[in-house]
Amino acid sequence: MKKYKILIVEDEIIPANYIKQILEQAGHSVLGIADSSQEALNYLNTKNYPELILMDIRIKGELDGIEVAKYFQKSIDVAVLYLSAFSDDSLLQRAHATHPIGYLVKPIQEKTLLSTVTVGMSNYKSKYSNDKIILTKTIIFNPKKQLITDQNKSIKLTRNESLILSMLIKYKNQIIPYDTLENSIWTQKPPSDTALRTTVWRLKKKLPQSIKINNVYGSGYILDF
């Protein structure tokens, strides 16, 4: 079983320590326990980033766990597994928008926790691997080959188109500023004023209809599928 670096965000110390013990006995590395939204966000400054966050939805602080998860996902590549004593539909809908690997209702059971981490992280790593990114049941993106396959159809991308799509996928459902895209793609020299707009326009023409790149005027681009 593969081992992961995990951050626990939980404001009840007994359940948090119980979860920590389970994970460490299974060989995972627990970076720490954060009992508030601010303490959790402080881990973004440590540079020892988690690969997985076990996130209690109802935590102390100005932000709930879902909002904290969004902050993390804007900054680093991290999977999220939600923990909650509630199964409220509105909470589930908000949590679903962050694409978690799972949602566990308290009290947490050892076998359920470990199996969810193992299977969920395996699926997460597979979906966002460098060789193959599964966008839908029929659409696969291969960044190394700069290729999209849609059933029996293959769509070849240019280097810059592939880089833009990779970034949009990594930060799906988040607006990526224009200058962030430009600085990541045109690293040797500044692009022309129309380079990004033209490249995105060409990419949009190539993508299957179910994959959309939306321009949020004055802010940046966001991927929708």
Give start and end residues of each alpha helix (H) in the chain: 13-25, 37-41, 65-75, 89-96, 110-127, 159-170, 178-185, 195-206
Q: Which of 97-106, 155-164, 198-207 has the lowest mean pLDDT?
A: 97-106
Structure tokens at 32: 């720490």
Instruction: Answer yes or no: is pLDDT of 168 > 70.
Output: yes
Residues 57-96 pLDDT 10s: 989 989 999 999 988 887 777 899 999 887 677 777 788 8
Residue 46's pLDDT band, with cuts at 50, 70 and 90, is confident
Whether residue 143 contacts residue 164, with contact meaning beta carbons closer than 8 Å, is answered with no
Instruction: Answer yes or no: is pLDDT of 30 > 80.
Output: yes
Angle value at C-alpha 56, between 50 and 58, nearest 5 degrees: 140
133-224: CATH architecture: Orthogonal Bundle (1.10)
DSSP 55: E
CA distance 62 to 176: 25
Q: Which of 24-33, 75-84, 124-133, 134-143 has the lowest mean pLDDT?
A: 124-133
Nearest to 46 by CA among 84, 82, 76, 10: 76
5-127: CATH architecture: 3-Layer(aba) Sandwich (3.40)
Instruction: Answer yes or no: is pLDDT of 47 > 80.
Output: no
CA distance 136 to 223: 13
pTM above 0.85, yes or no: no
Tokens 């013990």, residue located: 21
pLDDT score, position 44: 85
Amino acid identity at 170: K
Residue extent(s) of CATH 1.10.10.10 domains in the chain = 133-224
Residue extent(s) of CATH 3.40.50.2300 domains in the chain = 5-127
Tokens 């709930």, residue located: 64
